[in-house]
Amino acid sequence: MISFPNCKINLGLHVVSKRADGFHNIETIFYPVPLRDALEINVAKNNSGPDVQFTSAGLPIPGDTSNNLCVKAYEILKTDFPALPPIAIHLLKAIPMGAGLGGGSADGAFTLKAINTKFELGLTQEQLLVYALQLGSDCPFFIINQPCVGTGRGEILEPISLALEAFDLVIVNPGIHVNTGWAFSQLNLSSYSPDGEGSLKHSVQQPVSTWKDILTNDFEEPVFSNHPELLQIKNSLYTSGAVYCSMSGSGSSLFGLLPKDVKILPTFSTHYLVKRVKL
């Protein structure tokens, strides 16, 4: 069985407060983007090996395989469905890791959905959301996989109507790793409340031409201060004609919404990953 996990961008991101469990309450707008990995799941041919035989190609995946979210997704389901057979997972990685695009979270969530379908587990969307949250805060979004307001840790999801087909999306990833824990530690949490006219939910319903001034990402100030190169990327996208640019998540990917008649992009360093996709 083959599926194609897509990435996401954050249209604005506010960190509201630190929670007693060590996580943070946030408000953001998740938007799915058709930049995809490819995920193949089959019953393992060799039943004498480990329960999950994981291989990958494409972009390198750092870390131990046992910590991969695809593997963890199988293990979580195996606990409740012990009759699941050993499986072979092959992941073709095209979404850069640690880039604020949710690529790893997408892979884990799509693994849950694929196993549910392939082995006819009968799990509802609500049940899949519970499993996905065990994998990570961004994973539940990829179960729903449509524009959503995300609050709480990001797992409280409210689908919204938001169409950006009039624009192309340019994603620029410079290969800079931003430690998420460090990024959170740099924030001065305010009394911001994700309600009313100042909320991202309200702001994203305004004309896209106004987003530059009202849709903001709290991580940009400390991350740009530490990595001025990222601010230069954002400014270059605006100079080239983008109507809205932002950093996604805690970085380091930047994105810009470009009118379709804007054909010429700025020239970036050759080691940058630059993708233009239709929304």
Q: Which member of 37, 107, 138, 218 is catalytic?
A: 138
By three-state DSSP, how is residue 86 classified?
coil
- Residue whose C-alpha is closest to residue 7's, from 93, 103, 100: 103
Strands 87-93 and 167-173: unpaired
Longest Cα separation, the chain = 59
**Which two three-digit tokens encode residue 153?**
């840790």
Fill in the DSSP letter of residue 217.
B
Residue with tokens 């991101």: 13
CA 20 to chain centre: 24
The answer to whether the CB of 251 falls within 8 A of the CB of 219 is yes
What pairs with residue 33 in β-bridges?
A: 7
Phi, psi for residue 246 in degrees, rounded to 5: -160, 165
Q: How far apart are CA 135 and CA 116, in angstroms?
A: 16
Give me the catalytic one of 8, 72, 113, 234: 8
Active site residue 8: yes
Please identify every residue annotated as catalytic: 8, 138
